[in-house]
Structure 1
């Protein structure tokens, strides 16, 4: 996912303030994900579970990221697509509902870990992070299609 992000930053970075901000927030989310998942380069030497507080902080970033997409970025892209032809509009109408599916998974993850009363829930974290990681990868691919539209309509 970090490689995909680097390609997105190379392709669209610097072209639009909104895109730059969004990609920066994606980077923070991915770094935090790798840290709590114990993925390179953040592998834990002792293979212990992350602190419950760290998981909750990740949940905050996750909710902020998905909210930013839905309430700021997607609206601008959909508006641009509506103004720039039926093919662009059809693309947005196809992609945004698919992204919403990944939002549901992210919000379910958040609800599960932020409403937990004790850290025993962390025993389920590896499985849940794996599922969430798959959903995030799908989401980023779909978002990159929207970034392409935003870039082509707002940059020049």
Structure 2
């Protein structure tokens, strides 16, 4: 039994590091978002800031989908946790729908040309994005809580 716990900790201890890095990325994303939103009236000189934010946003979303959620699902399967898997299956459609809208924002502002054409709409787009990001963070926090925290206790 001790060996099984040790193996689980070795196997899933890395998940904690992935989550920690991802949450640091989230913090930087939010700080950049707030800085961008506080500009007020946008001009073409603000376009590089928007482009950096778009890149950070896509990186954050991609890391969630291709690293974090995948690892959390593997962890839940390893622990044979049906309730955690149900949580994942319940929240992933919400996260996926959110991702689609976030990527639409990115598509509107991801190049200098796109961004400059739509600077007038940027305050409204950022306001809508704030709501989406808040929803997304709520879903992600729930996944971490339900899928990882419970298993951390088992592997400790």
Unaligned runs of 5+ in 2: 1-14
C-alpha change, 1:131 and 1:102, in structure 2 (3 Å) is: same
- 1:112-131 correspondence to structure 2 within 5 Å: 112-115=108-111, 117=113, 119-131=116-128
Q: Aligned equivalents of 1:114 and 1:23: distance in 2?
A: 23
Give the TM-score normalised by the residue count of structure 2. 0.80
Give the TM-score normalised by the residue count of structure 1. 0.80
Q: Aligned equivalents of 1:49 and 1:151: distance in 2?
A: 42
Q: Aligned equivalents of 1:105 and 1:135: distance in 2?
A: 8
Q: Aligned equivalents of 2:138 and 2:98: distance in 1?
A: 11
**1:78 aligned to 2:73?**
yes
* Helix, strand or coil at the partner of 1:80: helix
Unaligned runs of 5+ in 1: 1-14, 39-43
CA RMSD of aligned residues (A): 1.8
Q: Aligned equivalents of 1:57 and 1:21: distance in 2?
A: 19
Greater helix share, 1 or 2?
2
Which protein has greater RCO, CA pairs closer than 8 Å, 6+ apart?
2
Deviates more, 1:57-66 or 1:79-88: 79-88
Name the count of aligned residue pairs.
Answer: 135
**1:21 aligned to 2:21?**
yes
* Helix, strand or coil at the partner of 1:48: coil
